[in-house]
Amino acid sequence: MTAAFAAQDVSKRYGRTVALDGVSLHVDAGELVGLLGPNGAGKSTLVKIGCGLVRPSAGAATVCGAPAGSPAARASLGYLAELFRFPGWMTADELLRVHQGLTRSAGGAAERGRLLELVGLADVANRQIESMSKGMQQRLGIAQALVAGPRMLVLDEPTSALDPAGRRTVRDMLEELRAGGTAVLLNSHLLSEIELVCDRVVIINRGRVVAQGTPDELTSAGGVEIETGSGTRRYQIARERIPGVVAELVAAGERVYEVRAARSTLEEAYLEAVEGEMG
């Protein structure tokens, strides 16, 4: 199966700044991947390379098998830039109409209505953008990225201006898109509940991938907690050693009531991956 997005050993230098240092990453069809990392980690640079807006110093990126920036790649891709700005005098509906023109979408009013509905802006379709809150503009930006039904959707910091209700809307929308087979790469320097719906999370820091896995994998490195008659203790041991430790406790006269995975939160896993690098 061709990946919806793939980067192989991508590096990017801006003069003496190394923004990316050999990053490889893939997003499969219908997969929702979160690209997490602190400010300056290289996230925006990576997605701009994927969009063909920045040329890598080394390595290559493809979108649905086509080289990044090629007409075929651009036709498969929807993109919301981190620092987008739409003309304030346009209405939401007009903005989508302009983007239908740019992408040669034949979806017409039905597509515009469906997309505004999807991002929770159906009732403000004829409102001017300058009168919308930043959060509404961000949701409109996501609708704009979805014009013409891209197979690969790239959202750079799409939740930075969203209030909890807006995040909920975006999370529901992402789940709907995934169910429909759209692949999503979502950049974020802040963890929120949105990242928790990602199938996979890739953490980058200083231009390198420092951790990746499903949220479950990233949070299960916490060992186990064993509850006995004399209290609960945490053991940093591999799964294979659990029966042995329980047997030892029982042999020592302990009564074992419960053994459970001691999960860290995704935030702890993120901080550990990023700070481990800095230390």
Question: Half-sphere exposure (CA, 13 Å, Cβ side) for 84?
Answer: 26
What does 120 interact with, of ligand ADP, Mg ion, none (CB < 5 to 8 A by kind)? none
CB of 83 to Mg ion, least distance (A): 9
Closest separation in Å from C-beta 18 to ligand ADP: 8
Q: 21 or 111: whose CB is closer to Mg ion?
A: 21
Angle between helices 134-145 and 164-179 (to 10 degrees): 10
Are β-strands 208-213 and 200-205 bridged in parallel, bridged antiparallel, or unpaired? Answer: antiparallel
CB-CB neighbours of 272 under 10 Å: 16
User: Distances from the Cα of 102 to the Cαs of 63, 78, 99, 117, in angstroms?
Assistant: 19, 12, 5, 21
**Residues binding Mg ion (CB under 5 A):** 43-44, 82
- Nearest-CB residue for Mg ion: 44
Q: How far is the CB of 162 from ligand ADP (least distance, A)?
A: 18
Residues at the contact surface with ligand ADP, assessed by CB under 6 A: 14, 17, 19, 37, 39-45
- 195 vs 218: CA distance, rounded Å: 12
Q: 78 or 120: whose CB is closer to Mg ion?
A: 78
Residue 79 CB, shortest distance to Mg ion, in Å, is 13
Our CB check for ligand ADP shows the closer of 120 and 207 to be: 207
Instruction: Compute the least distance from the CB of residue 39 to ligand ADP, in Å.
Output: 4
Question: Residue 274: CA atoms inside 13 Å, Cβ hemisphere, count?
Answer: 21
Nearest residue (CB) to ligand ADP, 207 versus 223: 207
CB-based contact 123:91 (threshold 8 Å): no
Assigned token pair, 101: 């023109």
CB-nearer residue toward ligand ADP: 19 or 148: 19
Q: E strand or H helix at 107, and its extent?
A: none
Residue 40 near which of Mg ion, ligand ADP, none (CB within 5-8 Å, type-dependent)? ligand ADP
